[in-house]
Structure 1
Amino acid sequence: MRFVNSGLAVRCAAGCALSCVLVGAAVAQSNTAPSLSARASPVAPTLAQAVEAAWQRATQAREAEGQTQRATAERVAISSLWAAPPAVEFSYRDDRWQTSAGRRESEAGLAWPLWLPGQRNARGAAVDADVELSQAAVQAGHLHFAGLVREAAWGIAAQKAESDLADAQVRSLHEIFDDVRRRVKAGNLAHADALAAQSEALAAQSAQLAARQRLSASQSQWMTLTGIAIAPDLTSVPVSDGAAVSPGEAHFAVETHPDARVAALTVERARKRLDVVAATRRDPPELLLRIRQDTPGRGESAQNSIGVGVRIPLGTASRNQPLQAAALSELDVALTTKQRTEERLAADAAMAQAAVHTAEQQLEAERQRSALLRERAMLIERSFKAGETPLPELLRALAAATQADTSFARQQVALGLARARLQQSLGILP
């Protein structure tokens, strides 16, 4: 009987210890990230480090970098003295195919496009809007990958919790099987009890292997996402992961969310582009500078002259209306997107707050259920020691207690994930 008692103690102690650790992690997840592992090697990354690693591996990072470079190049372009690249002209004429009197005419010219009034400032404002939008897009991209990293990290935490519980269950049932087998040899129990105990131990071992496989799959997905072999230890003593946010906290400022900021800056860029269209009602005028050399005939001296002119294109409706319609359409789409984005973010934040509140209530219910079933298993174990309860009843009690412990562990992770999703919905980075 000493072994049966030890098996239950191992299972209950393991379940209690794991539950306490996970509760601490779930409660501390309100804007928290894990500290570095106490072990010298390997060192677990923080959530912030994992997010940065995932971002650096993403194609979105290259796109954001390219957008910034394009905006920088455009800013350099509008700092030039001409509105478009200058053009060089060359021409030559003679009369060799007509009178052949030796008359020649050579001309070289330079066409210099000029800025229209207000066009340069309008394009400069549009470029500034592009730069701000590219910077905001980087922040929004970080937030997007923070969500992926949080989901993956808590997924690993859930699989790790189930794997640890499966390990404890295997140890407990193997000890029970060893004790039952000794009692069968002593003639105190029937051989059928040994078969039942062995069957439960094998079932627990199969569940253990399945839990380890799921944990390995989650770790592989983490490696693919971040390129880091180790996930943050969410059960360790946490460090700050942003400002603390409780589910009851009100007055969520939608406009401070990175996605809302991107939407707002997209509207601003559309307005600036509309201003550029308004300031560019025609193609840029050109300042023309020409040098001409005329030779009246053979034996006569050449005559040189310099000419200055201006070429002014005319703005027509066929040119301007399509450009203005495109700019107005872009602005209308941006305004609609901004409104829908703000509505979505507000709804997501409200749902995330409700999910945290529900998860807290579910956790308390699972905690009570787990404690009750553990106590019931201990009482049945005492009855089994006294010979008043058969082995199948004890095994059923152990299975129920294990299932309750597993549900409790899952709910602890669910609470941590709900709080992480609340941070995500509020736009809080690790």
Structure 2
Amino acid sequence: MKASRCCLALLMALGTLRPVYAQTASAAFSETASPRERLSFPDALALAWAQDPRRAELGTNRRSAEARARAAGSWFAGGPSLSGSYFDDHAVGSNLGYTTYEGGVSVPLWLPGQGNATRKVARADAEAAAERSSAEHMALAVRLLDASAAALLARRRVATTQALASAAARLNTTVARATRVGETTQADQQMAEAALATARTDAAMAQEEAQTADAGLVALLGTPVVPDLLAFSVPGSAEEKLVAHTVEENDPRVRAAQKESAAARADLLLARRSFMPNPEIGVGAIHEKQYGSPWDNRVGVNFTMPLPSAVHNAPLLAEARNRLAAAETQETLARRMVRQELAQIRARLAAASAARQSAQTAAQQLDRRADLLERSWKLQENSLDDALRARQAAYMADLVRDRAEILWHSAILRALIAAGAVPGLEQTPTPRATQPGPLTGPASAETETLHEPDMPHTRQPGEALHIPEMVSASRSSGGPMP
């Protein structure tokens, strides 16, 4: 009878693991769904973008380029220059009263086409800064997704490990009491104490992981509230939006590279138009006094024109060609990178869906196995060690299932971010008459005219994208984590 009562008590302690975990995990899962603390991902992205320091820097770059474009609309290539001179004969000692005053003002003139080319460079730089802002906005969305997924997974792991530690503590108390009255062996008590120590270690590590994840979230949002990632649960919609050509053409990195190439071509055109230093034209006056003569005043026009020289032209053209070559290289690399990432995103979406289903099946089967081994232990058909290991394996499978579920939602949201389908990151598709051909090498840097293809505007608040390794699950000492 004593052994039966001990078995019943141990089974009751083991049976409390599942309800306690379900209650604690449910609270953790619904933490972001609280009416007071609910924060959708688009709202969180807007909050993070408002605090992002790169936004102010890129905005300053854009406004500076726009100011340069306005300044280039001046009639003259620069500000006026004043000149003056004074001569007399006192310094040489003759002191005959010969005195001369000269003064003039001149302004630099635009070379043919130089003013228009200068405005094009400034406008292209402003558009490039705007596209870089869009790329930074998308990079921030990816960083926010990573931080949110890490925080959500860490909180779920805290709930699981705390429930396991609480159940292990109750089990250890029951086994210790049974050992004192001789109903169980000392080996069972040692096993229960080891299980409790292991569970407490996992709980402490989970707390550290959660605090670290919350710190990363606070750095982006200023608050530890986790954005609602579970709202994104329609993979078919994300797959439909991942049309390769549309996404590639409207990716902010590709558009920014295109704008940089346009700015580099405009800069090359400006270098060609600046084939010599700017000539200057002005007016001058002379007031002269001679000994025994009346005052003599004269007014005239002056003109200065430096002649073209390779010393002046070669550095300007070389720098412009280098900028164009670098910009076209970056555009080619950006297109390659986007194509590769789109393939990775599709693969991640498919793999996450399959992993989620497999993890759910594994968790269900291991839970049933743990129940069966507990009943076998009650009938004294197996040892306490087998029952404990089965239950611990079931909880490790629950952690794997939680991670797979979060990765599934994250993969859907990642695909929507790449497609620009998240509110705040919307992109207007670029209409094209023909399908894109294979990537070709950079165009010749000797382009004489400025080619600016008509591209749609990306929303102004708008990193480089990357495929994150999302969340590295901590390994529990009780079982492996994938």
Q: 2:132 aligns with which of 137, 155, 163?
A: 137
Aligned residue for 1:103? 98
Aligned partner of 1:47 among 41, 44, 51 = 41
Shifted more, 261-270 versus 244-253: the winner is 244-253
User: More helix by proportion, 1 or 2?
Assistant: 1
What is the deviation of 1:224?
Answer: 3.0
AA at the equivalent of 2:295:
A
Answer whether contact 1:258 1:427 (CA < 8 A) is retained.
no
Equivalent residue, structure 2, for 1:63: 57
* Structure 1 residue 44 displacement after superposition: 5.1
Could you tell me which of 195, 214, 222 is aligned with 1:200? Answer: 195
> Does 2:169 align with 1:163?
no
- After the TM superposition, which of the residue ranges 222-231 and 149-158 deviates more from structure 2? 222-231
CA contact (8 A) 2:232 2:412 kept: no
Does 2:400 align with 1:407? Answer: yes
Deviation of 1:309 after TM superposition, in Å, equals: 2.6
Report SS of the residue matched to 1:346.
Answer: helix
Amino acid aligned to 1:273 = D
Is 415-424 or 386-395 further displaced after alignment?
Answer: 415-424
Instruction: Pick the aligned partner of 1:279 from 260, 268, 273.
Output: 273
The correspondence for 2:314, drawn from 280, 304, 321, is 321
Question: Could you tell me which residue of structure 1 aligns to residue 349 of structure 2?
Answer: 356
Please tell me the residue identity of whatever aligns with 1:317: A
Which moved further from structure 2: 339-348 or 399-408? 399-408
CA deviations over 1:293-350 (Å, ceiling 9, x no partner):
122324x321222111322222222211221121112111111110111001110110
1:74 pairs with 2:68: yes
Q: Any idea what SS the aligned residue of 2:238 has?
A: coil
Task: Look up the SS of the partner of 2:239 in the other structure.
Answer: coil
Find the aligned partners of 2:416 and 2:242 in 1 and give their Cα distance: 12
Does residue 127 (structure 1) correspond to residue 127 (structure 2)? The answer is no
Give the direction of change, closer, same or farther, for the CA distance of 1:248–1:317 in structure 2 (3 Å limit).
closer
Distance 1:184 1:247, change over 3 A: farther
TM-score using structure 2 length: 0.77
For residue 416 of structure 1, the aligned residue among 409, 414, 425 is: 409
Mapped to 2, the partners of 1:383 and 1:262 lie a distance apart of 65
AA of the residue aligned to 2:129? S
Say which SS state the counterpart of residue 283 (structure 1) adopts: coil
C-alpha RMSD over aligned residues: 3.1
Q: Are residues 1:367 and 2:373 paired?
A: no
Q: What is the deviation of 1:395?
A: 0.8
Q: Does 1:301 align with 2:294?
A: yes
Measured in 2, the distance between the counterparts of 1:240 and 1:363 equals 12
1:113 aligns with 2:103: no
Aligned with 1:84 (options 78, 89, 94)? 78
Partner Cα distance (1:313, 1:165) in 2 = 80
Q: Secondary structure at the match of 1:245?
A: helix
Q: Distance in 2 between matches of 1:194 and 1:240?
A: 46
**Aligned partners of 2:49 and 2:381: how far apart in 1?**
62
Q: 2:223 aligns with which of 215, 228, 231?
A: 228
Residues 137-159 of structure 1 deviation map (CA, whole Å, 9 limit, x = unaligned): 11111112222111111111121
Number of aligned positions between the proteins: 415
- Whether 2:17 is the aligned partner of 1:11: answer yes
Q: Is the 8 A contact 1:112 1:286 kept in 2?
A: yes
**How far apart in 1 are the matches of 2:241 and 2:274?**
52
Give the AA of the match of 1:366.
A
Secondary structure (helix, strand or coil) at the match of 1:110 reads strand
1:267 and 2:254 are equivalent in the alignment:
no
Q: What is the aligned counterpart of 2:384 among 370, 386, 391?
A: 391
Q: Which runs of 5+ in 1 are unaligned?
A: 26-33
Do residues 189 (structure 1) and 184 (structure 2) align?
yes
Q: Does the 8 Å contact 1:8/1:378 carry over to 2? A: no
* AA matched with 1:272: A
Q: Secondary structure at the match of 2:104?
A: strand
Structure 2 residue runs of 5 or longer lacking an equivalent are 1-6, 424-482
CA contact 1:146–1:429 (8 Å) conserved in 2: no
| Cα distance in 2, alignment partners of residues 388 and 180 from structure 1 | 18
- Aligned AA (1:12): R
- Higher relative contact order structure (alpha carbons within 8 Å, sequence separation ≥ 6): 1
Residue 440 of structure 2 corresponds to none
Match of 2:331 among 338, 354, 367: 338
Deviates more, 1:279-288 or 1:253-262: 279-288
Cα deviation 1:49-94 (Å, max 9, x = unaligned)? 4444544555433431331232133123213232112100111222
- Contact 1:19–1:409 (8 Å) recurs in 2: no
Instruction: Give 1:377 deviation, angstroms.
Output: 0.9
Shift of 1:372: 0.8
